[in-house]
Structure 1
Amino acid sequence: MEAKLISPSYSVQLVRHHLRRLQQRRLSQLHPFQRLRPVSKLELLYLHKNKLVGSLPESLNMLENLTDLFVGNNSLTGPVRFGSANCKNLLTLELSYNEFEGGVPPELGNCSSLDALVIVSGNLSGTIPASLGKLKKLESLELFENRFSGEIPIEVWKIQSLSQLLVYQNNLTGELPLEMTELKHLKKVTLFNNGFYGEIPSALGVHSSLEEIDFISNKLTGEIPNLCHGKKLTVLNLGSNQLHGKIPTSIGRCKSIERPSPEFSQDHSISFLDFNTNSFEGPIPRSFGSSRNLSSINLSRNKLSGQIPSELGNLLGLGYLNLSNNLLQGSLPSNLSNCVNLERFDVGFNKLNGTVPSSYSAWKGLATLILSENLFTGGIPSFLPELVKLSDLQMGRNAFGGEIPSSIGSLQQLIYGLDLSGNGLTGELPDKLKDLIRLTRVNVSNNKLTGSLSVLGNLTSLLHADVSNNQFIGPIPEKLKNQSISDPASFSGNPNLCIPRSFPISNNSELSYCEDQSRRGRSGLSTWKIVLIAVLSSLFVLVLVLALVFICLRRRGGHEERPKKDAIVFTEEEGPSLLLNKVLAATDNLNEKHIIGRGAHGIVYRASLGSGEVYAVKRLIFASHIRANQSMMREIETIGKVRHRNLIKLEGFWLRKEDGLMLYRYMPGGSLYDVLHGVSPKEDVLEWSARYNVALGVAHGLAYLHYDCHPPIVHRDIKPENILMDSDLEPHIGDFGLARLLDGSTVSTATVTGTTGYIAPENAFKTVRGRESDVYSYGVVLLELVTRKRAVDKSFPDSTDIVSWVRSMLSSSSVDDMVSTIVDPVLADELLNSDLREQIVEVTELALSCTERDPARRPTMREVVKVLCDAQGLVRCPSGSVR
């Protein structure tokens, strides 16, 4: 038999082990289960990668001479009933890639000679039995990609012969015991994507020559101990935990040289290093430059500071370098150009400055270059066309300046994105951009670009273009017609941009038809007159504001604390405004009978002012809430600056001595929480099309906050209670009391904020907030729309939220069975439509993607909008539902 019959997922050790035994036996024919009869002398049974169905026959227990059993990659079901007094000669048991029920049978402890137990992706559940500790000769235990829970029994950690333990992607938990440090033969331990917690034992590796350690996506805490005692470590992955402190310099010196012969020597050193999404501080160790075998480094999403060490230029085999989302400063080391095998270079979201070294033109194989959110200057690098394999170029929010070079058009492999936003760029879009025929996304927003957008009409693969806040003129290309309807904000801030008459105009678009614009231009004032009027008007308003501030300060006698900058304060002595008088009269001076809601950040009243004008008045009492004033100012600072159809609009506000009032348009549909979980929910809102439109509307609103506001805004408390519905069932995001501006400063709080069930895993103990936390909360809302269950529902098992519940339900059922397990029964009739059913599946998959534990794996809200718009094509949307 040939090696190609064996799944590549298995370890090299097991493959060689198996092939050696096959060569010894030279077996040519094996029988399927239905023809199998007890054969007393049968030693090896190899039925890997067939189409076997049914359960594993218990008659296999009668084969007392059996040494190797391979039945992986079939369609076996039912419980695994294997392990008896007859299995004492069994050396290898491989049952992977089947659909078993139940767990690992405790009887396997009887197979005393077993040295390899491999049940990968076998749909097994329950706990790992302690009886496996009887397997004193076990070298390889591979149980990854199942649904095991609980702790690994201490008896297993005491198997002294254990060489590799692979149990990743389960639901295992517990602390890493000291017993694992006594395993002298342990070489490979992979525990990623579980729930292990506590500190990494300081003596790990002291008595063994560890080669691979992968603890990604757990809940480990503390500092990294010295793990390089045996100097054989090649993989060290500790990302997405809660580790802190400095990265030990010893890691870079974790290597040894073996000389099997005088002519040949082998360098053992780290090749893969992943510490992403922790709280590591201090500089990047220069000793990393000594690990000449390093091919992948991921230190993103930490608090690393200082400069990027030039010693990294010694890593000639480096293919992946991600240092994004840290506090790194200084310029980029020019000798990184020595890393000629680099495929991805990401230093986004730091404080790096200077120009990009021209020597980086040596990166001929580079596919992804991310320099976003730094302080780079010196113009768009002229060497970029030499990076012939570049497929994703992200340079937004820097200070490059200058014009867009026409040579950018020679980047024929650009597919995933070109982001040059927020760089103070001038001039027009080069005509050569039309050569980027594979480009799907372009962002040139927040610059000083001029001219027309006609070149974008030639980009045949373009899905989205953000040209907002520039000085473009003329019509939007036909290619961007759909986007002008679904995302008009991406064209905003260009007063002389217009829409061809063949386009429908979106309700929240600030653009007008080209004919109307030109007519106004001919009959209107000249440009210099408009500018003069604008300047004089601004001066008049400034003088008026200064006068009012001076009067206020005089009246207050200078004894009270002055109001904060930008705060408009109306004290009782000054008298309330006419509108406030009407509000107070309509609510009988904020009488309790007009209360329509209470929340963590205030009380909400309904105020009917007549003539169909109905408002919601949010009141924050400063004395009863220590941060009420701060919360109100934050809400004014954020929502007061934005306008979008899916965001609640602030109509006015008043700061008084004892409280603050904010005025919003009343939303007659109530909150999304009322719709889904209220006592008498509206049936029309519970139709799938209505739920889908809610999902799309909220996604549009969040995408606007994250990418079209400057600086961007993170809401930090997305949940159904904060999504309000108007009379047309259009959603509006509200309550910005916890929102933060991403203005370059660290976004943090002293305590964990948000609502239980909606807080992203990385924020359970940390305080830094980013766009990804909103994406996670949005994913939870999507799951509520699909299931109509609360984020933390009484029907879930103990300590389970909706994300864990959905994942556990889907792991035990096929996609087709998903409908009967998690989808709201109210949708049963609609699910008879296969297109609707497929759309619900896509939305559910999107929700699971948004709620990934690793923030880096979550989509952006712009990507969410695109997925939803694409999925919208699966059904015929009712008239008016398409944006």
Structure 2
Amino acid sequence: KIGSGGFADVYKVLLINRIVAVKKLSNEQTITEETFYREVDNLMEVKHKNMVQFLGFCANTEDIPVKDPELEEKYVYAEQRERLLCFEYISNGSLDRYLSGELRGLEWNARYQIIRNICEGLRYLHEDKHMIHRDLKPQNILLDDFMVPKIADFGISKLLDDGASKAITKSPWSGYCAPDFTARGEVSFKFDIYSLGVIITELVTGHADITLKCQVLRRWRYRWNNSEGTALMCRQIAKCIDIGRQCRKEDPKERPSISKIISYLDEVDSANGRSSNPDDEESGDSQIIPGFNYLLLVEPLELFFPFEINKDISCPLYLTNQTNCYIAFNIHPASQLQYCAKPNLGIVPPLYSCRVNITLQAQDKAPPKDMLHDEFIVMCTQVKEGLTSEDITDDIFSKERGNLVEEVNLDAIFDVQ
């Protein structure tokens, strides 16, 4: 047994010198013979390099004698159905195992090829087979030996009909579920597009939150050792952030079709790579061109704390001002752990570097496993010459007041021996 869900258990099976994946549908699902065979016919027709290949099925119905609780000498016959679906076995597991932030995990080219291939598989499902997946999520995208994604469980939600639809909204993966479905029960191709938008965002950033392109590009450039990478890679990242945002529009009519999404990707990969899409947000060369100058160069973006009980642990952070302006900064942690940043706020003069010591104050026990990763936010903005640290207030970093404010996210990693 290699997996289980609300509707089926999955088994790895050796069948005539070939390993296959067998999905055993739950007996609790009431599927009529007519519905089952109709959907199996549809599954048999799905053949695409980015879809898990359906190989066959086994169906059996038996009447099982059960003693009548009211009449002990009498039996009633309960119908018991067995439904087995056989698929090709995909060796590298599901996509959720490979999702990570920009600084770790898969390189950008690998992530981008996964995005493109998922889109090609969904285009085939929507436009060639006129099928809605209904449950697109990283757990239902499998990766083969060459990291080529294959969409799984297509047609299963439709086969299970209303029971599946209700379970989707209650599942831990409901973050991939379109609001038009959760609010009104609407199912359309745009249902899958919403799910795709969340997946694309996660592949680019490692999380589902919609993030500014400049923040994402900063982290990718840091991974590339502050080299420029390539202009094409930066355009691809920026475009994927745009697509993820558009796919998650509240109104399904405003979400692009899968063909439109692929045309956006084709466009960015073309020779000029310039977008003609009027819906692109944060447009402007400073967001896309790799040589964009930030207010402050913040390094490192990963802070490593070799944890020891009852001992203060420090990590240096460097803020470098490569501009001709005065830049104010403010540093604060995202969690409730006790940190001390010296200085936690200040002003960096032009062409100057400031060192900040961030100290995790002594803890009497190690953080739990789910808290070995933490975050800091560095906010910075341009200020007038002559101001001092005492003049820095929260209002300076208020975007509502029209100030240009950059936010830099730092990862804190605890190394617990």
- TM-score when scaled to structure 2? 0.52
- Tell me the SS of whatever aligns to 2:174: coil
Q: Distance in 1 between matches of 2:119 and 2:39?
A: 20
**Is the Cα contact below 8 Å between 2:131 and 2:155 reproduced in 1?**
no
5+ unaligned residues in a row in structure 1: which ranges? 1-594, 790-801, 877-883
Change (3 A) 1:774 1:828: farther
- Which residue of 171, 182, 190 maps to 1:764? 182
Higher relative CO (CA 8 A, sep ≥ 6), structure 1 or 2? 2
Change (3 A) 1:756 1:747: closer
How far off is 1:606 after superposition?
1.2
Q: Map Cα deviations across residues 614-664 of structure 1 (whole Å, 9 max, x no partner).
A: 2111111314x4569899667524322221111111111001234211111
Q: Distance in 1 between matches of 2:204 and 2:114?
A: 11
Identical residues among aligned pairs (%): 29
Q: Distance in 2 between matches of 1:772 and 1:783?
A: 17
- Which residue of 783, 786, 791 maps to 2:204? 786
**Is the Cα contact below 8 Å between 1:619 and 1:661 reproduced in 2?**
yes
How far off is 1:827 after superposition?
6.7
Partner residue, 1:698: 118
**Larger Rg over CA atoms:** 1
Q: Distance in 2 between matches of 1:875 and 1:836?
A: 13
Q: Distance in 1 between matches of 2:224 and 2:59?
A: 46
Partner residue, 1:834: 231
Q: Which amino acid aligns with 1:780?
A: V
After TM superposition, list the pairs within 5 Å mapping 1:366-765 onto structure 2: 595-609=1-15, 611=17, 613-623=18-28, 625=29, 636-657=40-61, 658-676=81-99, 683=105, 686-709=106-129, 712-740=130-158, 751=166, 753=168, 755-765=173-183
Q: Distance in 2 between matches of 1:618 and 1:854?
A: 35
Q: Distance in 1 between matches of 2:151 and 2:45?
A: 14
Change (3 A) 1:748 1:776: farther
- Tell me the SS of whatever aligns to 2:136: coil
**Is the Cα contact below 8 Å between 1:783 and 1:847 reproduced in 2?**
yes
Q: Distance in 2 between matches of 1:660 and 1:693?
A: 35
How far off is 1:723 after superposition?
0.6
**Is the Cα contact below 8 Å between 1:638 and 1:736 reproduced in 2?**
no
Q: Which amino acid aligns with 2:144?
A: D
- Tell me the SS of whatever aligns to 2:261: helix
Q: Which amino acid aligns with 2:215?
A: D
How far off is 1:820 after superposition?
3.8
Q: Map Cα deviations across residues 193-235 of structure 1 (whole Å, 9 max, x no partner).
A: xxxxxxxxxxxxxxxxxxxxxxxxxxxxxxxxxxxxxxxxxxx
**Is the Cα contact below 8 Å between 2:12 and 2:19 reproduced in 1?**
yes
Q: Which amino acid aligns with 2:27?
A: F
Q: Distance in 1 between matches of 2:27 and 2:19?
A: 25
**Is the Cα contact below 8 Å between 2:232 and 2:269 reproduced in 1?**
no
Q: Distance in 2 between matches of 1:620 and 1:830?
A: 51
Q: Distance in 2 between matches of 1:863 and 1:716?
A: 20
Q: Which amino acid aligns with 1:735?
A: D
Q: Distance in 1 between matches of 2:266 and 2:153?
A: 26
Change (3 A) 1:750 1:842: closer
Q: Distance in 1 between matches of 2:228 and 2:40?
A: 43
RMSD over equivalenced CA pairs, Å: 3.6
- TM-score when scaled to structure 1? 0.26
Which is strand-richer, 1 or 2?
2
Q: Distance in 1 between matches of 2:251 and 2:268?
A: 25
Change (3 A) 1:774 1:735: same
After TM superposition, list the pairs within 5 Å mapping 1:326-365 onto structure 2: none
- Which residue of 251, 254, 257 maps to 1:860? 257
- Tell me the SS of whatever aligns to 1:669: coil
Q: Map Cα deviations across residues 4-30 of structure 1 (whole Å, 9 max, x no partner).
A: xxxxxxxxxxxxxxxxxxxxxxxxxxx
How far off is 1:757 after superposition?
0.5
Corresponding residue pairs, total: 248
Q: Distance in 2 between matches of 1:626 and 1:825?
A: 53
- Tell me the SS of whatever aligns to 1:713: coil
- Which residue of 817, 824, 834 maps to 2:215? 817
Q: Map Cα deviations across residues 344-370 of structure 1 (whole Å, 9 max, x no partner).
A: xxxxxxxxxxxxxxxxxxxxxxxxxxx
Q: Which amino acid aligns with 1:849?
A: Q
**Is the Cα contact below 8 Å between 2:196 and 2:247 reproduced in 1?**
yes
**Is the Cα contact below 8 Å between 2:8 and 2:24 reproduced in 1?**
yes
- Which residue of 847, 851, 859 maps to 2:248? 851
